[in-house]
Structure 1
């Protein structure tokens, strides 16, 4: 009896220990499942954030740049260093995926202990984990992010900024390694490829005895996707527009003088464009007097940012069935206007009708390499005429987009007539200037061979 009585507490203790082990094991299983679920959600979040940030359109980025919302300002701030942002996201996402794999191995160890796992279990588990990571952690969030990219970018921006402190040490090392490899072993980048393509086109067309017009059209096709609205727009100072306070008799002489089919209409100043007046809408009312309310005929304006690519704007024109856009800067002020004809001219060259002035781009060519340009000529037009790369002056021009503005940037002041300066293979002589602006500049474009001989 004594041995039986003494055995009861021992059996009870063993049973209680087994129950406690079972409870702890259940807690471990539950904790592992919850942790795996959270890691999968984090993987989906980072994948969606990556797709959202790097699929934002030019318009959405411009909106974030001028926005007063903290989340959109943070989105724009993160995109100022896209390489760092992408590296941090990839470090975070891959760290989460590795953690999921380690968690899967830990659960397998809990279930099977130290015993060897059957091959079918290993293959089945690997396929299941791969499906969860790829489908739930990559495909679904990226597909969803394409539909609501700006909203997702706004929501995930604080999360990414907070986690940068954790991922930054490793991302710096990875960026340094990739930078070294790119610098020493990778091929030249996109800008050089464009220049090489231009050179190849020139060589091919020269060999085929093609006309300069054909070469100009092909160069326009090559550059079409990289030209921004600001580079080819008609500046605000050269815009013709009607005030809403004008009467119909006052409009008619200007319509005849300008010869435009569409004219912007403003209140107070051209910073407040109210709409576009289509002259064809006015034709049935030419007999009306001063009291005629012609303002009811204006159509809503189409605003675009300076930074938009003309290839995107061309698509917008086709979708919205409009032919004119009002260009605004980051502060919402009017910078100029752009028409469908301006975009088409970037490929086919100037299209002049009976109302166009031949002196829109004022220049004369003295010899093969020497030109005289009006100061208000845009740098984009200058590069087209001289067949120079469109990015030839990007490092020095700043915000200036005209030949006169380039002179101000190179001299750091308003130069006097007769002063000279050089940049690369371009040699500038100020032909005419006053105390306010540069009026006319003579430009000699040295050939690459001449530049090489001079450097040697």
Structure 2
């Protein structure tokens, strides 16, 4: 009798181990593919070996999924075969009805696999995805390297790639660099210059960060929340803006956006509490791409966002008009004043405000800006670029030579460069 129990006990132990393996593999499938962006950022910052293996697996999601599916199927098939063997040991031939044995072999085993090998672990993994990936990263990595499974995984990935391409129409992949070259080639052909500028704006649209085209905080017109309405009214008439940020104590603490159209009902009499008219501000990081921001503006039906830096401070604002101008060029309104940011002295000489953005500088000079973009660091203004290149805050009459451009400080103080003369000449020394 003792001898008969040994294979049964060993089989049960192996069955439990296989169920545990099935649960871990099934749970890892959900865990790896339900990681939140925050979890991914934390994993990338984690220097542990487990985190590095997890990131390595996530870099090849198709291979990871193939490894999980193949390993899980091997385990589940092993569970079925072993369960059938245990059933034979427990119920020898003719000991129970055939239908009952068939019911146990199919229904009961299937229920156990589904409950303990699929449902419970996947529910757990969905709530603890990060810890589950760290636990299963190393085992899955080793399983994927195991000789027979490695070849099966490669075959499955290749097969799915072939199947996914079946029926697809062949299409030509054109990069943004190819489009830029094509536009450059057609510049000399007869056509409207404005059309070429619009096409160039479209090509570069997805490559531009918010920080490159935003209005810096020093140039933003904003109200303090404790200012009386009479003073607010004077500012509105003076500046003619349709939306104005409102802050408390400092510009880093924006409390809302005042829409001038919300004041129309109060033309004849001031509102009792103008603060109640403020709308919720929308914040965006400096490195957000303007094509993504345009989608956000469309979805939220808004025209302005507050730009914040990595420390949470307010860098400036960006509007829908700023984004559209990157494609169609400057949009002038009937109340826009004359642009005083620069003066063209002659064909090759300009005088710029130091705070002028590099993007606007490129437009005025009519250049693509690639030379400056490759050499600049964090700077986004002409003054910032000069300071970066010189490695110090320059004083009046100091200059730098950059390619075919000579940049000369015309006015400055101890803190910033106010005016910069730019000379464009191939012969500049």
What's the TM-score, normalizing by structure 2? Answer: 0.69
Residue of structure 2 equivalent to 1:35: 21
- Mapping 1:126-165, distance limit 5 Å: 155-160=128-133
Kept after mapping to 2: 8 A contact 1:74/1:158: no
Kept after mapping to 2: 8 A contact 1:195/1:389: no
| 1:311 alignment partner, one of 284, 291, 306 | 291
Deviations 1:111-160 (A, max 9, x none): 999xxxxxxxxxxxxxxxxxx9xxx99xxx9xx9xxxxxx97x9544555
Higher helix share: 1
Q: How far did 1:236 drift?
A: 0.6
Kept after mapping to 2: 8 A contact 1:429/1:441: yes
Closer/same/farther in 2, CA of residues 111 and 298 from structure 1, 3 Å limit: closer
- Give unpaired runs (5+ residues) of structure 2: 86-112, 145-173
Q: How far did 1:275 drift?
A: 1.8
Q: How far did 1:257 drift?
A: 1.8
Residue of structure 2 equivalent to 1:48: 34
| 2:255 alignment partner, one of 274, 280, 287 | 274
Counterpart CA distance in 1 for 2:350 and 2:54 is: 45
- Mapping 1:25-424, distance limit 5 Å: 25-49=11-35, 52-53=36-37, 74=42, 77=45, 86-89=55-58, 90=60, 96-97=68-69, 99-100=71-72, 103=75, 155-160=128-133, 193-207=175-189, 209-288=190-269, 292-359=272-339, 361-364=341-344, 366-367=346-347, 371-389=350-368, 392-394=371-373, 396-423=375-402
Closer/same/farther in 2, CA of residues 194 and 83 from structure 1, 3 Å limit: farther
Q: How far did 1:361 drift?
A: 4.1
Closer/same/farther in 2, CA of residues 45 and 205 from structure 1, 3 Å limit: same
Q: How far did 1:26 drift?
A: 4.0
Q: How far did 1:229 drift?
A: 1.7
Counterpart CA distance in 2 for 1:83 and 1:203 is: 46
Counterpart CA distance in 2 for 1:78 and 1:163 is: 16
- Mapping 1:12-27, distance limit 5 Å: 16-27=2-13
Counterpart CA distance in 2 for 1:330 and 1:245 is: 28
Closer/same/farther in 2, CA of residues 239 and 415 from structure 1, 3 Å limit: same
Closer/same/farther in 2, CA of residues 252 and 27 from structure 1, 3 Å limit: closer
RMSD: 4.2
Closer/same/farther in 2, CA of residues 16 and 76 from structure 1, 3 Å limit: closer
Kept after mapping to 1: 8 A contact 2:341/2:353: yes
Counterpart CA distance in 2 for 1:201 and 1:321 is: 33
SS in 2 for 1:226: coil
Deviations 1:249-276 (A, max 9, x none): 3233322221112222222222222222
Residue of structure 1 equivalent to 2:97: none
Closer/same/farther in 2, CA of residues 430 and 163 from structure 1, 3 Å limit: farther
Q: How far did 1:409 drift?
A: 0.6
Kept after mapping to 2: 8 A contact 1:259/1:355: yes
Kept after mapping to 1: 8 A contact 2:211/2:287: yes
Q: How far did 1:168 drift?
A: 9.2
SS in 1 for 2:188: helix
Say yes or no: does 1:428 pair with 2:396: no
What's the TM-score, normalizing by structure 1? Answer: 0.65
Counterpart CA distance in 1 for 2:366 and 2:344 is: 15
SS in 1 for 2:253: strand
Residue of structure 1 equivalent to 2:156: none
Q: How far did 1:406 drift?
A: 0.6
Counterpart CA distance in 1 for 2:18 and 2:4 is: 21
Q: How far did 1:304 drift?
A: 2.2
Closer/same/farther in 2, CA of residues 87 and 94 from structure 1, 3 Å limit: farther
Closer/same/farther in 2, CA of residues 239 and 436 from structure 1, 3 Å limit: same
Counterpart CA distance in 1 for 2:389 and 2:237 is: 41
